[in-house]
Amino acid sequence: MKSDSCAFTHNGRRAQNEDYYLADDLHGIYVLADGMGGYKGGEVACRIAVSTCHDYIKKHLGSPIDIDDLMNFIRHKLKEEIQDHPEYASMGTTLCCLYIQEGYIHAIHIGDSKIIIVADSVYESRDHTYAQQLIDSCLLRADEYQHHPMRHILTRCLTGDAKEKFKADYCKIPLKQGRNTFLLCSDGVMEANSAAQTIHWLKDEPDIHKILHTVEQNALKYSKDNSTAIMVGLNYAVNGN
């Protein structure tokens, strides 16, 4: 059983790209982060979060992953960086991660980067933003979310502040016999691609390169933000072949 992936990252209309990703097809680990804009060190925070998350999961793939311990380890690495560079004291980042283990796809998510999984069932991560809280409280319609001014205000993220121990969302979904497809992306991608349309593409188009090309072109045309995405395809058989 081996997964394959393709990816892109673009500045959009920003001077700097504060997104970062790592796609490890060999070990079935995919990680993406979006550094918090408006705070110094966002590009540093996202790189630390991605590399630390990948290395931790790779080291522990032979046993169940302790998600809380993983999040605390990333926070510790961010804190170490801040101790060396106090100017990064306010830096933070989102994080989304997928890893394949024992017939399941495992999803970890904090912030407003997106995970979409089409496997034995369909999974879409919920943004940790004030606008999403308004929807959850029935104060905002779902169709108003994409253009709401509080869509980018995070209610959860990763920082080096020991007091901000926000929990990550976690779920695991059984892989289905045959083709499974996954997407991780920063919020800049979702500015230009609806979740419903993306799920439709993941269900109906077997070529992940074609899907990614469409998603990328939409992001380049319609999104002002940094845009980064990883598309993953996996053919799964119960006997492991």
Per-residue confidence (pLDDT) for residue 146, from 0 to 100: 82
Check pLDDT > 70 for residue 241.
no
**Average pLDDT for 158-185:** 94
| Cα gap 187→148, rounded to integer Å | 13
First vs last C-alpha separation in the chain = 6
SS (H, E, C) 171-195: EEEECCCEEEEEEEECHHHHCCCCH
pLDDT value of position 51: 98
The average confidence (pLDDT) of the chain is 94
What mean pLDDT is predicted for residues 42-57? 97
Q: What's the pTM? A: 0.95
pLDDT digits 0-9 by tens, 201-227: 999 999 999 999 999 999 999 999 999
pLDDT of 67-113, one tens digit each? 999 999 999 999 999 999 999 999 999 999 999 999 999 999 999 99
What pLDDT, on a 0 to 100 scale, did the predictor assign at position 203?
94
Residue type, 129: T
- Could you tell me the domains of the chain? 3-236 (3.60.40.10)
Q: What confidence category does residue 152 fall into, taking pLDDT thresholds of 50, 70 and 90?
A: confident
55: number of CA atoms within 13 Å, CB side?
Answer: 9
- Is residue 170 very low, low, confident or very high in pLDDT (cuts 50, 70, 90)? very high
H helix or E strand, kind and range, residue 99: strand 95-101
Task: Please give the pLDDT value at position 240.
Answer: 54
Give the per-residue pLDDT at 2. 75
Is residue 149 very low, low, confident or very high in pLDDT (cuts 50, 70, 90)?
confident
- What's the mean pLDDT in 218-237? 95
Is the pLDDT at 26 greater than 80? The verdict is yes
